[in-house]
Structure formats: structure tokens, C-alpha cells
């Protein structure tokens, strides 16, 4: 039966759906997705191309989250992995809800630098939480050797473990812990798109490399700027991205390489102005020699 609630664009192993995730997800075959990365609206009032992510109440937001969480769990393969992002306020509720449905292996903190003035009357938030979940804790993908990072104890400090006989230098490489530092996407970065909460490619590179293999199917039900799908393609995975806002669908069509035009519009990266214009000096400052 033809579904008029969304549009579908596909090329090669990559598919983009323009529509509501709650309407698109039920049409996908159960148990077929190897990796899901879900970065939904956070219910904090951000503006997304005409949509304001603010629900009538926190309860209404969590009930909405439970709907797509159930669908994502249903679509996940028996050996699949799911990464869930949320605001610091909402994550405890999502964490508790998922415990009876999947196994939570890690509770990851993605921290980043400040973009300017933070809170003045409390400690401002400089991180976002991520849940790393699997369907079967005895059978899932985790490519540890492909995501090794520098172990400062051995690589930088050159320390030796004298508890061993004979003593041995500490390892110079290690699997990342659950606190990750990746800079947020900035205007001058090549990957920048016009979106209020774009996630960096480096974050998705680690997730996709660790928890999927070439040829696997990766799903992002709230695709936004389609970073997940673009990185999945670059790493030799297949992808499905779902996005309700037309402006962001156009970004996805371009970034994933499905088409270069949309309804007669040429799809191009955002134009940027890197020029710097000095402000005119204040006459009073000139008199003072400032």
C-alpha cells in the first residue's frame, strides 16, 4: 500500500526518508539494522528550520521518546548496537526505560569546549550524555583495535609498571574510556552546515568504526545534517536517514551524494564569509590615544 506520509530517496546502499520518524520506522523490516545512532530533539527550545523542540511537558516528551525507542529496538538486529543521545535532564528517564529492553554497556560523556559566556549563577553544561546499548551482550560488534588512542601513561610519561616481574613499560595505546573530547562543529570548519546542534564527524567516526563493519546498515532516525549517513558512506557502510525538516533533507541529499538538485534548486554547501572588518574607532578613544 502506498504511504503518502513521507518521501523516499535512494542511491546505492543509502536511503533518505523525508518524514516523521514515528511514521517511517514502522515500515522498515524488523531486526535488520546493525547500528542505530539516535540524536533526537532535546526538548530545550532550540529552533530547527521552523520547528521548536519544546513539548507541552517533560512527561509528554519522554512518552514520545519511548515510542521511537521501542521502534528502534524492534528494528535492531539480534547482534545490533544502539547509541542514544539526549539532554542531561532527560537521559536518566531514557536510561531507566531502556534497561528492561537492551543491555547498556557504557554511559558515555561527550565533552567539548565553551562557545562563549556560560551560566553565571550555576555550573553550565559542557557535555552531552550518550548511551551505548546492545541487544545481546554476548554477541555484538566492537572493533577495539580500530579505535585505539594514545595512552599517556606509556606514550607520554613513559612510566614502567614495577609490580610485574620483570617490570614492563605501560602500553602506549588503549581503547578510549567513556569520557570523550571532540570539538563542536564551528562555522569555519569544512563540515559546517546551518543547523543548531550539528554533531561532529569525528564523534560519528568513532561510533561507526567501533560498532559496525563494512557493508553493515546504519540508521539515524533524526538525521539532521546527515553526518551519520555521510560518515557511514565514507567508511563503507550502508545507511538510512530519516528527517522531517525539508531544509535538512536537502543537506542530506547533497552530503550523501544522492542528488545535486532538489525541485530545480542546486544543492550546495553553505556560503561563508571569512572576512574581518575592523570596527571604526570611537572619536573619544582617538583623543585619548586608545
**Is position 158 within any domain?**
no
**Is position 106 within any domain?**
yes
pLDDT in tens, 242-275: 999 999 999 999 999 999 999 999 999 998 877 6
Name the residue range of residue 17's domain.
7-141+178-288
pLDDT at 226: 97
pLDDT in tens, 218-234: 999 999 999 999 999 99
**Is position 155 within any domain?**
no
How confident is residue 203, by pLDDT bands cut at 50, 70 and 90?
Answer: very high
**Is position 26 within any domain?**
yes
H or E element that contains 254: helix 246-255
**Is position 48 within any domain?**
yes
The rounded distance, in Å, linking the Cα atoms of 233 and 114 is 30
- Residue whose C-alpha is closest to residue 107's, from 98, 118, 116, 117: 98
Average pLDDT, the chain: 90
Cis bond upstream, residue 166 (ω within 30): yes
How confident is residue 288, by pLDDT bands cut at 50, 70 and 90?
Answer: very low
Q: Into how many domains does the chain fold? A: 1
**Is position 163 within any domain?**
no
**Is position 258 within any domain?**
yes
Cβ pair 37, 83 in contact under 8 A = yes
**Is position 171 within any domain?**
no
pTM of the entire structure? 0.89
| CATH classification at residue 271 | 3.40.50.150
The rounded distance, in Å, linking the Cα atoms of 268 and 153 is 45
| Cα radius of gyration rounded to whole Å, the chain | 22
The rounded distance, in Å, linking the Cα atoms of 12 and 239 is 10
Amino acid at each position: 500500500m502506498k504511504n503518502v506520509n513521507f518521501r523516499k530517496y535512494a542511491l546505492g546502499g543509502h536511503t533518505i526518508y523525508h518524514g516523521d520518524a514515528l511514521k517511517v520506522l514502522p515500515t522498515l523490516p524488523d531486526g535488520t539494522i546493525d547500528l542505530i545512532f539516535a540524536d533526537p530533539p532535546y526538548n530545550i527550545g532550540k529552533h530547527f528550520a521552523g520547528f521548536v523542540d519544546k513539548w507541552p511537558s517533560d512527561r509528554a516528551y519522554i512518552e514520545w521518546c519511548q515510542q521511537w525507542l521501542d521502534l528502534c529496538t524492534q528494528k535492531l538486529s539480534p547482534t545490533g548496537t544502539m547509541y542514544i543521545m539526549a539532554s542531561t535532564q532527560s537521559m536518566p528517564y531514557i536510561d531507566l526505560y531502556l534497561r528492561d529492553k537492551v543491555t547498556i554497556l557504557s554511559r558515555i560523556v561527550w565533552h567539548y569546549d565553551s562557545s562563549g559566556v556560560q551560566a553565571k549563577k550555576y555550573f553550565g553544561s559542557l557535555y552531552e550524555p550518550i548511551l551505548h546499548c546492545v541487544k545481546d551482550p554476548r554477541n555484538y560488534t566492537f572493533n577495539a583495535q580500530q579505535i585505539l588512542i594514545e595512552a599517556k601513561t606509556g606514550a607520554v610519561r613513559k612510566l614502567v609498571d614495577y609490580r610485574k616481574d620483570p617490570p614492563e613499560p605501560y602500553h602506549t595505546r588503549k581503547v578510549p574510556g567513556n569520557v570523550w573530547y571532540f570539538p563542536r562543529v564551528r562555522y569555519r570548519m569544512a563540515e559546517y552546515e546551518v543547523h543548531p546542534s550539528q554533531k561532529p564527524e569525528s564523534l560519528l567516526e568513532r561510533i561507526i568504526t567501533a560498532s559496525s563493519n563494512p557493508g553493515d546498515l546504519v540508521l539515524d532516525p533524526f538525521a539532521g545534517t546527515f553526518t551519520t549517513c555521510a560518515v557511514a558512506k565514507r567508511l563503507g557502510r550502508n545507511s538510512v536517514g530519516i528527517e522531517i525538516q525539508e531544509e535538512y533533507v536537502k543537506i542530506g541529499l547533497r552530503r550523501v551524494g544522492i542528488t545535486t538538485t532538489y525541485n530545480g534548486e542546486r544543492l550546495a554547501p553553505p556560503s561563508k564569509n571569512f572576512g574581518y572588518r575592523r570596527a571604526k574607532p570611537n572619536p573619544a578613544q582617538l583623543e585619548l590615544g586608545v
